[in-house]
Structure 1
């Protein structure tokens, strides 16, 4: 099949949708399909056209962002041209512009349209009014135009305010994790120090883009929980915060205000080659997500589990039920620093590497199994 993917951005840009599109497209190519990605040229060093892991990537200039969505004047015409060559178009929410014009191109050309609905589109302050207006207009057109709407966890059909009327064409297609890349490895003491971890105390690891779009990941709650852990008797864990973004200075200031700067290290962006090392160093991976509307799945949780690292998270993360059922970590109350601190304290003594987490990822959440499911969905639509 000739598959056209239209995320707003693609690696080397960092983000959940970007990683999903890359990893799924790579696997679809290995299954014998031709995949073209049409996206924004979000980084100056990115080439306009290149092949990444067998995926043909074509990038367009943008004129800026609206609510973290790159606006590409050439996109409407370009997606229409590419749609005429494609057997199927696969676009993504929450990225207006690319999703909406992909839906229009699908209508004009008669090409089947798949929408992966990663999470609701919401905003803060005045942006919330813009998001609400979009959700009641263009989003409805895009979802109505879709031949299939994919969600990454079954609970999302109930928790989202916008999917109920389209329930008959909603199907679950889980996120995956590259179990060959994310795996248990031996780590060196030099790597521990280089990445900001400690050789003398338990290590916690948090990973996210640090911007206003990803505030729902709950880093502020984790920093407050760290202040409670500092007040306790015994060794205070070391928290390494991976990821860069415009809110990084604000989080650093919050850590200082809470008196935990000594125990928290902000690494900034972590290269892929160091990410697996970081997961393996950590005694616990912590993701205290706050919003079921915005936390579509929690791919980083799968990456940690594939490395054999137990997790502490909340019930809004897509794999939270599996974490409880398979004893792969613990869940804290949403938005509750005291609950999070207690959960970390309870879980740390049991933080020996969990092979069960890796086995779960291999059996149920590999990209190969997800891509095979998606291939059958495409074939039915074509």
Structure 2
């Protein structure tokens, strides 16, 4: 195969992500395409999956190298095995990519907070730059998942600090993450850039509803996202049970798009609650399903419960709902409220009953639904869409002393006239 090493004039970026394969990871994929469009050569190192089993692909001018997916760890030794396996493959592919393509910077996308070991090695041995793209809060994720702190929590905090210390530049997904970079990471503010996971409006187009998704019912509510135990789908199913059994409503169909470790358990829970006829689980789907379903839904729901993790996360699904003009029902979380504002109604924290009641309130009020949907769409168009985030991403790279081929005069700091 012909070598694709870049010229001295073109900078090359290696993006390492362990959590999801590319292009399935929507944030990493849009970042990769943005950097490529700006004149960088972009190579991504990520895990394989059933949907993307190919060890190598060249898609939309981006090189993608995939390694075997490490077994998901449980407990200290399980995590050591998982992270060690991932690090082995990341080092192996990084060396292969270095000699085949060359790269000038590694952009590490967590979780986990171990990729800095690869980035630090190439930084201190080969003089490469290292950017930390802060996607998730590993210490808070551990606390939310296991309801405790303990020794492993302390290790995760240490790994996070080492990642911040190694980084030349930090990309934060929101203001909560920026504050953590400044406080826990002691990162100077001029080295932190807030790049929100804004939706690409070329993907989320307004279309006519597809009535068949409603299964003959009058109304439809939709969910889009991962199905882990911390994502609150159990709260949503309990809300469905409340709507059907306590509120005596048989006119609402729920379409839940996505997959994850809890999918089978959630399907069983719907059967046990006696609401499986009212709930459609699609599994993992692409835009050919996501866009028609969201255009058909009258209300979208974000059931992520309040905890120290979710309160600080920007939920991609919230902004994707807004991109298609959907009013949202969610719990009152700091960053979710920042994203949605008046485009959402906020249920009492972690109350499945109130979540269900708020859903019915919106379904029975079409004028409010329409107004909220318009507010959300406008907020995406004017502030949060990816076109407003891309200049900030390019500014983060310019902070390394590398001007891109795109004007980023407005990108040094993101402003939000609506906040």
Partner of 1:111: 128
**Once the 2 structures are TM-superposed, how far is the Cα of residue 3 of structure 1 from its aligned partner?**
1.6
> 3-state SS of the aligned residue for 2:259?
coil
Contact 1:289 1:334 in 2 (8 A): no
Q: Which runs of no fewer than 5 residues in structure 2 stay unpaired?
A: 1-10, 74-78, 402-419
Q: Mean alpha-carbon deviation: is it higher for 240-249 or for 278-287?
A: 240-249
Q: Deviations over 1:169-228 (max 9, x none)?
A: 433221121101112101333xx34xxx33432111112222xxx322211111111122
Partner of 1:372: 391
Partner Cα separation in structure 2 for residue 33 and residue 95 of structure 1: 26
Partner Cα separation in structure 1 for residue 204 and residue 323 of structure 2: 6
Partner Cα separation in structure 2 for residue 42 and residue 254 of structure 1: 26
Partner Cα separation in structure 1 for residue 148 and residue 30 of structure 2: 31
- Give the one of 87, 90, 108 matched to 1:75: 90
Structure 1 residues 139 and 82: CA distance shift in structure 2, 3 A: farther
**Once the 2 structures are TM-superposed, how far is the Cα of residue 126 of structure 1 from its aligned partner?**
10
Q: How does 1:11-90 map to 2 (within 5 A)?
A: 11=21, 14=24, 18-43=25-50, 46-62=53-69, 64-66=71-73, 71=86, 73-80=88-95, 82=97, 85-90=102-107
TM-score (norm 2): 0.79
**Once the 2 structures are TM-superposed, how far is the Cα of residue 330 of structure 1 from its aligned partner?**
1.1
Partner of 2:414: none
- Give the one of 156, 160, 180 matched to 2:202: 180
Partner Cα separation in structure 2 for residue 13 and residue 126 of structure 1: 32
Tell me if 1:300 matches 2:317.
yes
Partner of 1:280: 295
Q: Mean alpha-carbon deviation: is it higher for 78-87 or for 137-146?
A: 78-87
**Once the 2 structures are TM-superposed, how far is the Cα of residue 72 of structure 1 from its aligned partner?**
5.2
Q: Mean alpha-carbon deviation: is it higher for 253-262 or for 267-276?
A: 253-262
Structure 1 residues 207 and 161: CA distance shift in structure 2, 3 A: farther
Partner Cα separation in structure 2 for residue 312 and residue 201 of structure 1: 19
**Once the 2 structures are TM-superposed, how far is the Cα of residue 64 of structure 1 from its aligned partner?**
3.3
Partner of 1:143: 164
Q: Mean alpha-carbon deviation: is it higher for 147-156 or for 120-129?
A: 120-129
Partner of 2:175: 154
Contact 1:298 1:317 in 2 (8 A): no
Q: Mean alpha-carbon deviation: is it higher for 152-161 or for 29-38?
A: 152-161
> 3-state SS of the aligned residue for 2:330?
strand
* RMSD across aligned positions (CA): 2.9
Q: Mean alpha-carbon deviation: is it higher for 301-310 or for 35-44?
A: 35-44
- Give the one of 333, 338, 346 matched to 2:353: 338
Tell me if 1:163 matches 2:184.
yes
Q: Deviations over 1:110-156 (max 9, x none)?
A: 22221121221133449965741431433322211012222211123
Contact 1:201 1:235 in 2 (8 A): no
- Give the one of 236, 243, 250 matched to 1:222: 236
Structure 1 residues 92 and 127: CA distance shift in structure 2, 3 A: farther
Contact 2:220 2:254 in 1 (8 A): yes
Tell me if 1:200 matches 2:217.
yes
Tell me if 1:363 matches 2:382.
yes
**Once the 2 structures are TM-superposed, how far is the Cα of residue 2 of structure 1 from its aligned partner?**
1.8
Structure 1 residues 136 and 360: CA distance shift in structure 2, 3 A: closer
**Once the 2 structures are TM-superposed, how far is the Cα of residue 267 of structure 1 from its aligned partner?**
1.7
TM-score (norm 1): 0.86
**Once the 2 structures are TM-superposed, how far is the Cα of residue 278 of structure 1 from its aligned partner?**
0.8
Contact 1:305 1:357 in 2 (8 A): yes
Q: Deviations over 1:90-128 (max 9, x none)?
A: 111222443432233223222222112122113344996
Contact 1:29 1:54 in 2 (8 A): yes
How many correspondences in the alignment? 369
**Once the 2 structures are TM-superposed, how far is the Cα of residue 369 of structure 1 from its aligned partner?**
2.4
Q: Deviations over 1:267-299 (max 9, x none)?
A: 222232111011101111101212341562111
